[in-house]
A and B are shown apart, each in its own frame.
Chain A
């Protein structure tokens, strides 16, 4: 068991290593160093902060400048990576990249995890029901609808939702996480406001998510219902509901939950589009803004954090999976 954890942890490190090395190499393959130019431009235009920025530009050049051999740049890069030091934001200097990320993460995590969880629960329940041959006809008729919903990327839903509920009917706010005029406090008013702003983006996400979770659960359930132990359970005279839950769903949940965990791993990345459309101040918006203002440090830092998050999630899945699947736990 320890060997298993050890193996997975090594894999985790390997993933981080390769992914971050790619992050280092890829931009440098492209000719021209926009960071250099951006820094120089900034140094030239900044007013009072001129001295600080110049100091910063100098530090940057010392570490990553063109006169440094690539391998030394690489080592410096990793030193920074360990300390999670992604430098300063080009746009919001003197804010550090890390501070911006830290401000944005809670929003993304909070709203996305609720949406994903909701979509998973509703979708899986629906999917399981769809696979059961004895469920009523109207449920079966939902399959094509779900197929269509799952095929359409969710940000398209988002735009439509904003228009219907935000513009045409003016029921819900069209963007942001909370009212700009609101002062954030731990009270009911703030919470209500946040929830109100979260409804539309969450709906778009959940709609799409339900479709794909339902279809995948249905497929898994159909395979499981074809297994011998279902026939044997029926021959024992077990009632339908028992078989459906304890023999069917219980087995189908295993691969589904793995999928859920991976979803959570990619949670930071998936939010990019939905947040940009709804101007929700999470990681996604951060990267969106950074793209438009060419804030390379923020982009780099965000991507690194995304990779870290995804790799960690995979590691956690691998470690926790034996807890739910006894076949792996008790392997001699």
Chain B
């Protein structure tokens, strides 16, 4: 019963694995894989010395940490507030709308950002001009992009994440809250001393699991927001976009493979480490 699945992963995941050999040669399309000269660690040496590997690693890691930390905090905040909403109908409607951005493709996300940030017609500049302020040229301002990308990511993830945390709150033993209310606990104390501690294990587990993916970027998000706008690369280039350009723009297959191999090896190490952490804190949740 498992054979189709085994075959699927054999072809699409295991068959490409020996391809990491590309990282150690100077690949040349005409000579093929085995005709191209073996260069050992030369590709890695170049990536390190040119500073590119450092740049894309730092970008990938910092973006992910921002996504994970800010995302989870905002989602918890929203979940706690949703729990305070009395009207079911209001909660349903707002949850539905907040969940909507999760359902659209990366292409649409890029277009929506363009609608807001475009210099000539963008909504942001429409508003700025209405207040008599100078329009901003977002697409040529590298320092603005960490904010834009993080905000877009928060925007897309808020619905999904707050549902997870809200579900956890609804699964709470509500007698505790009622007992606390009889004891005169106010709303702030209820959140601070009952709800947040209740969410803590979920938060820690989700954080640690996301930590495992800290070297993996969301290509669709970055590529559709930034595209091939090289002015923005210093602040927006991540591992995935770099590898993609090596393949599709620069045709430097070996360099792309070297970065992928580096990502796989270190990524694997980080997953094992975060799983070890999970096992120490909450053995039931460990993956293996």
- Tell whether A and B belong to one assembly: no
Residues of B within 8 A of A (CB): none
